[in-house]
Amino acid sequence: MKYEQPAGTNVLDRMTIVGKPTDRIDGPRKTTGTAPYAYERHDVAPGAAYGYVVGAGIAKGRVTAIDTAAAKAAPGVIAVISTLDMPKLPLSRMNTASLFGGPVVEHYHQAIALVVADTFEQARAAAGLLRIDYARTKGRFDLKEAAPTAPYTGGDSGEGSGAPPIDRVGNFDRAFAAAPVKLDAAYTTPDESHAMMEPHASIAAWQDGKLTVWTSNQMIAWGKRSLATTLGLDPADVRIDSPFIGGGFGGKLFIRADIVLAALGAKAAGRPVKVALTRPIMANNTTHRPATIQRIRLGCTRDGTITAIAHESTSGNLPKGDPETAVAQTKLLYAGKNRMTALRLAVLDLPEGNAMRAPGEAPGMMALEIAMDEMAEKLGMDPVAFRVKNDTQVDPEDPKRRFSQRQLVRCLEMGAERFGWSARNPKPAQVRDGRWLVGMGMAAGFRNSPTQKSAARVGIDRKGVVTVATDMTDIGTGSYTIIAQTAAEAMGVPLDKVVVLLGDSDFPASAGSGGQWGAANSTSGVYAACMNLRASIAQRLGYDGPDVTFADGEVRSGNRRAKLGDAAGRDGLSADGQIEYGDLDKQYQLSTFAGHFVEAGVDAYTGEVRVRRMLAVCAAGRIINPKSARSQVIGAMTMGVGAALMEELAVDTRFGFFVNHDLASYEVPVHADIPHQEVIFLDEADAYASPIKAKGVGELGLCGVGAAIANAVYNATGVRIRDYPITLEKHLAKLPPIA
């Protein structure tokens, strides 16, 4: 199905199942512990041996020797593979740093050996017997030090967030100089870890030269191609299976050392091998969100009209890595005739920086939306009114290109009313509740809605059971349920008559889980397959014409009707389908919007920050399952609390590694940190986005949250903090007098 025109009325518009809050069909398996996660696939690979990954103890240099004799002689050891046993493995286009092979060390904890044994404990003990010699060389580990000479470098996250090295519209310098009200401020965000619950884990098995891997991976088709490239295999000889994933946040978009070493270990051992990256090795061995240094300049007339807007960001990465595209949203979010964005990339020898939930917009809006708050204060304007005044219905860089739908103003105004924003005291540090200083803050939310080709296979058997198969993944997002809802609605059957099979590379390739594109595109692929299957069924029955309907497990045309199972026959019927997009996304800007509102308390004695309540109002096209969509948004809001108040990978700038590489010292929010969260979805359906008329919410719920918290803290204390996370020592000495 080629999607080249806005969707008209279609079968999904009935919304008898689509659009209804629905319990997750995979819920019983997850709550009873029967959902098969990668490391627990005892059913598919009985007798698997255990692999233990050894990471480099230096950040830059060479491995000069690895003495494996003691490890090989240890009890239970089956094989020891060292990085010196083979040349550097080929890089897939999805990876920046080498995953294994050769003596060169590019970053700390790069995989340099695998010990395979009968038990995990034996493998771990033997790994401690390896004797490794290094030749350390000088590395670059300090972004602040490298930033002044970092070259301009454009980038694209591949997830709808990107920008050239420098982009100019109008004459920013002249307009900024002439503006009667100006803001010029710098902001920083730290390196952050994905810290997902399930570690990177894989089980690999070889048979007749073909490789099967049961793994935890968000993008199955990408993973299959990348693994084949890395191991020098024909993609037809590689199968990846990942039906359940315990969180990813972008950290599992690409193959990592676990899957490669499981495959190499299984070949060496002659039996299946399972590998999980231990928590301490994950932060440095895999990917992370890179730190940023951002400068934002705003120039306004005295009535609050933005006349000049500039956003510059510097981040670091390994050679051949990409920048964090933190300026991307500033190209689209607010009006302003004179504009400039710029990206700089410093070469650092820290672990690879790459996609983490809402790459670009998440850290970019943490800065931009504080700057908007600061400018509103300079102007003496309400922060909501300032944003509303500078709304735009067209792409500010290309006014001929309209947004397909843009309800940002409604999100902000509805949020303000629902949250009780009118009760906010605009003068900071005026509201107290006992020992607590209390403030309100808000921010706009923005995230693009990329379109991706996506395919599925839908079949029906003689019992009228519909089965959907696609390599789409469920990373805790509810993919199983929304795909079932789509198929049930399209085929006219109840939800309990739909079986969904996901995450297997033998199934048609979907959009995958990432970039806020998963829901809208994967369900569109399912819809395309359902339309093909409906046509086959109607043809088999001899039904023709526009009056053919599928409902209540039947096919009807005029006064004729037949049960779906009877139409399928003894052997059943199936059809493949695929959604492919034309250039609607070039004619119209496809984006999602939100208003985030936060109330925070700051302990006047200790400086401790506590979020008291949160609200998100979201405009994101048709919401396929409001129940799981709400879960996505409140999860993202929780992640925003972490980014604002506690999450930071501490860099040892002497030796080049992240010090706090476990969940004891890398702090993330827990239940006690999270207050009441309210989510409102605007009633909209975007016909330009997809035949489902949906977009996405998984990352929108994060974008802007950190700034809303920062703005609430400022309103509570009168102390403006521009460096995340907002920890108590950054404002304690400046808090208002207690008496």
Distance CA 358, CA 326 (A): 10
Q: How many CA atoms lie within 13 A of 102 on its CB side?
A: 12
Q: Rounded to the nearest 5°, which phi and psi values hold at 51?
A: -110, 140
- The two tokens of residue 453 are 């080709």
pLDDT in tens, 687-700: 999 999 999 999 99
Handedness of CA 278, 284, 288, 293 (dihedral sign): positive
Mean pLDDT, range 514-518, rounded to an integer: 95
Task: Count, in order, helices (H) and strands (E) of the chain.
Answer: 17, 34
Would you list the DSSP string of 19-59?
TS----TTHHHHHTT-S--GGG-TTTSTT-EEEEEEE-SSS
Query: Is the pLDDT at 160 greater than 90, yes or no?
Result: no
Q: Rounded to the nearest 5°, which phi and psi values hold at 345?
A: -130, 115
CB atoms within 10 A of CB 174: 12
Residue linked to tokens 């990954």: 53
Distance CA 291, CA 270 (A): 43
Would you list the DSSP string of 71-89?
HHTSTTEEEEEEGGGSPPP
The torsion angle over the Cα atoms of residues 7, 13, 19 and 25, rounded to 10 degrees, is -100
Contact 66, 108 (CB under 8 A): no
Query: Is the pLDDT at 544 greater than 90, yes or no?
Result: no
Query: Is the pLDDT at 122 greater than 80, yes or no?
Result: yes
- The two tokens of residue 35 are 């959902």
Q: Rounded to the nearest 5°, which phi and psi values hold at 593?
A: -140, 155
CB atoms within 10 A of CB 655: 15
Element (H, E) at 387: helix 383-389
Distance CA 412, CA 418 (A): 10
Q: Rounded to the nearest 5°, which phi and psi values hold at 591?
A: -145, 165
Q: Rounded to the nearest 5°, which phi and psi values hold at 304?
A: 95, 10
Mean pLDDT, range 657-682, rounded to an integer: 96
Q: Is 208 left (phi over 0), alpha (psi -120 to 50) or beta?
A: left
- The two tokens of residue 86 are 């083979």
Nearest by Cα to 65 from 82, 79, 77: 82
Distance CA 321, CA 95 (A): 9
Query: Is the pLDDT at 166 greater than 80, yes or no?
Result: yes
Q: Determine whether 347 is exposed, middle or buried from the number of CB atoms within 10 Å of its CB (0-12, 13-18, 19+).
A: middle
Q: Angle at the Cα of 611 (from 617 to 377), degrees rounded to 5?
A: 70
Q: Rounded to the nearest 5°, which phi and psi values hold at 440?
A: -115, 145
- Name the residue type at position 551: A
pLDDT in tens, 564-604: 999 999 999 999 999 999 999 999 999 999 999 999 999 99
Distance CA 112, CA 400 (A): 53
CB atoms within 10 A of CB 14: 15
Give the pLDDT band (50/70/90) at residue 546: confident
Q: What pLDDT, on a 0 to 100 scale, did the predictor assign at position 635?
A: 97
Q: What is the CATH number of domain 2-35+451-584?
A: 3.30.365.10
CB atoms within 10 A of CB 708: 34
554-584 in b/e form (b: 16+ CB < 10 A) is bbbbeeeebebbebbeeeebbbbbbbbbeeb
pLDDT in tens, 258-270: 999 999 999 999 9
Average pLDDT for the chain: 97
Distance CA 604, CA 732 (A): 8
- Residues identified as active-site: 699
| High-pLDDT (> 70) share of the chain, % | 100
Nearest by Cα to 450 from 521, 361, 367, 500: 521
Q: Determine whether 302 is exposed, middle or buried from the number of CB atoms within 10 Å of its CB (0-12, 13-18, 19+).
A: exposed
CB atoms within 10 A of CB 398: 12
Distance CA 364, CA 358 (A): 10
Give the pLDDT band (50/70/90) at residue 158: confident
Distance CA 4, CA 583 (A): 7
Q: What pLDDT, on a 0 to 100 scale, did the predictor assign at position 739?
A: 65
Give the pLDDT band (50/70/90) at residue 638: very high
Would you list the DSSP string of 467-504?
EEEE----SSS-HHHHHHHHHHHHHT--GGGEEEEESB
| Residue ranges per structural domain of the chain | 2-35+451-584
Contact 649, 288 (CB under 8 A): yes
